Amino acid sequence: MENTIAVLGGTGKLGAALARRWAKAGRQVIIGSRTAGKAAEAAARLGAGLGTTIRAATNLEAARAAGIVVVTVPFASQQGILEEIRPVVAGKIVIDTTVPLVPPKVMRVQLPPEGCAALRARALLGEDVRLVSAFHNVAAHKLATDETVDCDVLVFGDDRQARAVAVELANRAGLRGLHAGGLASSAAAEALTSVLIFLNKTYRVDGAGIRITGQLDIGAAAE
């Protein structure tokens, strides 16, 4: 259970792509949905493509059964899903991917009153959850392929060990995860997503990503 990953909203664009990459890398994955049947359908489809088994459940049951819970639902649904899982995620690692996009103006940075979606998650889940935020800047449709995705994953959180788990999961998904700071700094990556959407439109890019330049001593982050 400890290493099992529940992907809530795993029927969607980002969640399905992450679930598929982690399952392909040999991790135990449970796809969560508001509807068990929809989760089962997505899990069967993704599992068949990989020749492996992916489990499926409602979001609540998936969160209950896993040690690592990844939240991949739209900003408008973030509050509802976090309130639903709060009773079953105490002590667990929760990785929130929420970008506070407010349609139709998704190219404009619109951070919520809490400061960012990650801090909103902290307020909703309480202090006894090992909360991390990540994957804000990765284009889901690129992640859904077997191609290399040219994007770094900035990982934020106040619990260093939990952050390291998310960095490793980004690496296992074929990306480069980087420790990027405390939870409050998640505002930077969340805001960048609107900038990337603007760049996509302006320069006709099919899913711009971000890259941290310079020779990073990756091992130094573990010291």
Q: Which residues bind ligand NAP (CB under 6 A)?
A: 9, 11-15, 33-35, 38, 72-75, 77, 80-81, 97-99, 101, 135-136, 138-140
Q: How far is the CB of 16 from ligand NAP (least distance, A)?
A: 8
CA-CA distances (angstroms) from residue 98 to 14, 37, 133, 193?
10, 24, 8, 11
Residue (207 or 219) nearer to ligand NAP, CB: 207
Residue (160 or 205) nearer to ligand NAP, CB: 205
Q: How far apart are CA 95 and CA 52, in angstroms?
A: 24
Q: How far is the CB of 2 from ligand NAP (least distance, A)?
A: 24
Q: Give residue 99's Cα distance to chain centre.
A: 10
Residue (11 or 28) nearer to ligand NAP, CB: 11
CA-CA distances (angstroms) from residue 163 to 23, 42, 76, 94?
20, 28, 25, 10
Q: How far is the CB of 222 from ligand NAP (least distance, A)?
A: 26
Q: Determine phi and psi for 143, rounding to 5 degrees.
A: -65, -25
Residue (14 or 68) nearer to ligand NAP, CB: 14
